[in-house]
Amino acid sequence: MPYRMGLLSIFGPTRPQTVPTDQIVPLRQWDDLHYLRSLCHDFTFRFDDVLDAAKLEAALGRLMEIGDWGQLGARLRLNKNGKLEYHIPAEYDSNTRPAFIFTTAEYGMTINEHPLGSQLPKTGQDQSFLSPTSAVFRPLVCHQDSPRELADWIYTDRPQLHVHVTLFQDTTLLTVSYIHTLFDAVARTNFFKAWIAVLNGRETEVPPFLPFDQDPLCTLGKGASRQNYTNFHRLLSGLSLVLFGLRYLWELFWFHAEEEHSIRLPGHCVNQMRESACHQLTATTAEGVEPPFLSEPDIVSAWWVKTLVTALNPSRDRAIMVMSPFNVWSVFSEQFPSGGKGFIGNAFFNSYNVLDVGEVLEDDNLAYLASKNRQALVEHRTQEQVHAMTSIQRNSIMSIPPLVGKSNLLFMTHTNQHKARYFETDFSAAVVATGVPLSERPHALGRPSYINDIEHCRLYPTRNVCRVIGKDAAGDWWLLFKTRADAWPAIHQQLKALLEIDDLLADGADYQPAISYQESSYSKANSRMMGALMDFYTFLKLLV
């Protein structure tokens, strides 16, 4: 059973006794960060096929027996110094101390016959460009005992992973629940690839697991000069950081109501925007000079920044800071000689793009915004810059990433998970029956048609954080983000203007989500005032 923080827990929750035969390993430097402790995920693949749950479980069990992959079953503990550590069992027992938790739920109907299941988006739909929050589907995609906060691990003997499979007559939902300290979005795909290799009977393709007691990034920032950071002169510190914190707290307090929705951005729209942007850059680039390269994710990021800033309508004197995480496996290839294969952990840092509100809101400027995003990424994704950034981060309170810009900045984060290629994940080896006929869908057998990612945030605000899940088989892009509730009607209008399909969206001009918004689990437990006070408390801890 998950552990839930109640009144008695304040006075001394009971932690499990240490098992003498367990190997105790401190978490790596960049895994045990305060904000990673606060984030837990229920990551779901929707397959329009019927998968064999027993075969999935057996393959995962076999993976845990290969090399050091069994370390995934480590128990998470908080030691007396406030540091997280792994307690790795010497052996596992499926009944008393399993390497993972695997649960199933079976419905004797098609998914469209289920009241909630019928609302779950999928690839190739004609409508539902704006979908409800992923958290609405938790009763469908998770077991009632699935974990959702750090306490569910450190005050129990729960293994790192809880896998839940929901079976319909034509659809399978495969969910992995975990805490962010275990891995980031790119390393998560290492886990799926290893699992699938076993599922396909190709165990020789499972890469060696990098043991938890080996940290390829342990020296990052040590001895590096902070002054080498390209934005060193723009760092928020001292009074400017305090002022930013107060402004952000006021935003959370005054506009406490927030909503999260999933957006499907049609691929033809992204292609048109990219072609137009590339044409603009070519026209303004000097003859004989190669125009800047723009990727589809660059365009998606630029569209999101412009759309959100327009909807929030901040004052013109404010700065916009867009923080974009990137993976460093290729930046530090000498530390990752296998290209990151077999690495389970966090290896991401951030690029920073600082903009003025005025330049964001200019007409027909997606080319400029996208090129600025690309320029910031190229500038930050070097060994020198990562070392300088991590030197700053090591010396900050709770090792939080630096903030860049002005004290009145509008904080935004854009994380591009397309690199993980989740929509190309191939579980066809577990398919026992086809759900939607292959001739009626764009995705192949055993490939996901939708990805539902529920993020549980405890005492860590994630407003204006966009997760680009990736591009599906139909070429459409899926974005998931949370912002002020009163901004969503304006976002909806901008989406309609882009799509130019007002007649396909519900009731014309009025904004209506596909399912009425439901607050996430931690929001339900607190009143709006209590939530604001908790946010205030958290930020005081970060800033003081």
Q: Phi and psi of 439, rounded to 5°?
A: -70, -15
- All structural domains of the chain with their residue ranges: 22-205, 236-418+461-502+524-543
Alpha helices, DSSP H, located in 464-543: 488-499, 521-524, 528-543
Residue 431's DSSP bridge partners are: 51
Please state, in angstroms and as integers, the Cα–Cα distance from residue 538 to each residue in 173, 407, 520, following that order. Answer: 35, 19, 19
Structure tokens, 391: 């030197």
> Which pLDDT does position 124 carry in this prediction?
75
| pLDDT band with cut points at 50, 70 and 90 for residue 157 | very high
For the segment 356-361, the average pLDDT, to the nearest whole number, is 94
pLDDT of residue 127: 59
Q: Please give the share of the chain, as a percent, with pLDDT higher than 70.
A: 89
Check pLDDT > 80 for residue 318.
yes
pLDDT at 359 over 80: yes
H or E element that contains 105: strand 101-106
What CATH code would you report for 236-418+461-502+524-543?
Answer: 3.30.559.10
**CA-CA distances (angstroms) from residue 341 to 18, 217, 234, 337, 348?**
31, 15, 36, 9, 15
Beta bridge partners of residue 75, listed in sequence order: 87, 159
* Tens digits of residue pLDDT in 395-439: 887 788 999 999 999 999 999 999 999 999 999 999 999 999 999
Length of the chain, in residues: 544
Residues 6+ apart with CB under 8 A from 534: 459, 526
CB 190 within 8 A of CB 344: yes
Strand order in the sheet with 101-106: 101-106, 162-167, 172-179, 39-47, 448-457
The hierarchical CATH code for the domain 22-205 is 3.30.559.10
The single residue listed with the structure tokens 């984060």 is 413
pLDDT for position 513: 46
Inform me whether the pLDDT recorded for 138 exceeds 70: yes
* Dist. CA 431–CA 196, nearest whole Å: 12
Q: Is the pLDDT of residue 40 over 60?
A: yes
Pick the closest to residue 16 from 137, 152, 149, 206 (CA basis).
152
- What DSSP character marks residue 93? B
pLDDT score of 345 more than 60: yes
d(CA 261, CA 502) in angstroms, rounded, equals 19
Structure-block tokens of residue 120: 């779950």
Q: Residue 221 in contact with residue 387, Cβ under 8 Å?
A: yes
Residue 531 predicted with pLDDT over 60: no
pLDDT of residue 510: 44
* Alpha carbons 297 and 418: distance in angstroms, whole number: 8
Q: 249, 535 in Cβ contact below 8 A?
A: yes
- Per DSSP bridges, beta strands 162-167 and 75-78 are unpaired
pLDDT band at 12 (very low <50, low <70, confident <90, very high): low
How far apart CA 499 and CA 265 sit, in angstroms, is 9
Which pLDDT score is estimated for 284?
86
pLDDT higher for 129 or 86?
Answer: 86
Instruction: Tell me what the pLDDT averaged over the chain comes to.
Output: 89
The stretch 222-250 carries a mean pLDDT of 92
Closest CA to 117 of 50, 167, 51, 192: 167
CA atoms of 487 and 310, how far apart (whole Å) = 9
| Average confidence (pLDDT) over 244-268 | 90
96-105, 260-269, 395-404, 533-542: lowest mean pLDDT where?
533-542
pLDDT of 141 over the 70 cut: yes
Note the pLDDT tens digit of each residue in 65-116. Answer: 999 999 999 999 999 999 999 999 999 999 999 999 999 999 999 999 999 9
Query: Confidence class of residue 308 from pLDDT cuts 50, 70 and 90?
Result: very high
Higher pLDDT, 94 or 502: 94
Residue 424 CA to residue 447 CA, distance in Å, equals 6
Give, to the nearest 10 degrees, the angle between helix 488-499 and helix 296-312.
130
Number of H helices, E strands in the chain: 14, 17
pLDDT bracket for residue 525 (50, 70, 90): very low
Cβ atoms within 10 A of the Cβ of 87, count? 17
Active-site residue set: 180, 426
Instruction: Summarize the confidence of residues 501-518 as an average pLDDT.
Output: 42
Does 22-205 match 236-418+461-502+524-543 in CATH topology?
Answer: yes
Integer Cα distance of 440 and 198 in angstroms: 30
Q: Look at residue 521 and give its three-state secondary structure.
A: helix
CA 297 to chain CA mean position, Å:
15
Side chain identity at residue 380, one-letter code: H
